[in-house]
Chain A
């Protein structure tokens, strides 16, 4: 029952917000998102006591093909749900004090998005999962389309069609899986149990169908071309949803729906996949150095980070898995912080070009401190959340292959280069004409950035709860992937 509540509460919330009218929408949305967070905290406490068993929910849904309404939350799913439900209220709060046209539709779409994302993370039936996966695309598309920047129409359409193409490949993969699978089912248990019964030639096809879908969503170079423009054109909250949570759909799905489902395919093509990831890390980092637009810079830094997450997953060892989960959480928080800082700058100066900014530190010391912490988290300084994740990821990749880890390690160095260079040129130096009137943080911005900063530090010092939660789920996945 808890599982159903945590899934459907945002859906109800989204309807309520839509009904509440434009003036109240943001406040009602925040309240309901906070309530959902409270439910999540309660679920977490139940999880601590009883483990994952009490969260399974199973009901027959469609008899032909056999699709069941099968939900569940093991440690991995629950962590993703926590991330989603933690970020959503922050994202909503970040939109306070901004002029948003037709606010009721905006916030209601954000909450609807939350619903679909939770669905992706807790669905344990292939087609149910696929439906949520597609469903998540619709609200974010409309958020970017209605409230996005001037060039939004072609950019969002490209985004939509690109990701939909991947999804349809995945659908094709699921249908093939259904027919190859002797028990003819989409249920995750059946898929896991029968994974070894599918011949490896078919598995290599299946691998590519799933991998492409996830690689587009994550995105892994060379399937990333939709991403930077979409992040730039989407409204800030949309970018936060995309980068903070939606991207994790891809990396989470690698763990849940790719590795254990087609282990022989992974054995065959995993090396190529991890190489692509590592190429992507270096490539995206280099491109990030060249970026003049803040949002695009953060977008490419995000490609580099998630490339490392995916590389860790394909390294097929527990360190890589653990690192990927921790880094998914950390990256979610950090990237939301980064894009919010960009939004604050844009809100004051109407510019996101690195040139022309500068000296903001002199006029906005509070903002400076907060931004610094977020940047430090994102360049993986020890004692911030980014460090734990990247360290474990690099360790995992090292176990897999030394050379790959050397190149992945570049992400830390290059990350420091582009982040600090950006920070220096935007925040330090002399105050320019555009930045001299920079107003320091407003109350909602203070709260959002304070929460993010505290999370960055707390998670960096004490990440143990995340490890503990993820460990059993990851170990069981790993046991299925490694073919003895």
Chain B
């Protein structure tokens, strides 16, 4: 696992999620960044559609050591797993496509269900991108400069990591505020 210690400096990417005093969750990010996340979602959907793409193996671990049990489990669950991952990526793509754009920023609100779909999709994409760049655990998700030949993969990994981390903590804060308001107001 990757424990995140410290935040990137300067903190530009990822801090795109806000919690209102009533617990409402929203996103607000530069258009370039939202377009990039949407492109990543589209790329992810394409990979899922390609049969037996080796990059997706990390999303579908072997569940049983016993071949007959594994075959039955895959038969009963694999399509449902893939379908869920498709729906989560589609939720990300659709929300960004339908969001308001003003002054170079993409702005929209997220309910709890949508936020969870985004988080799962960020995680799925991180698993593929992170494997691709050889993450072993403990590497800091840092953005790399254009003259680094590996910058594309690392920058995608960093963007997805910080988005997931910030959204997760925003969602927890949103739930805590909503719960507090509900208990206060009876």
A and B are partners in one complex rather than unrelated chains: no
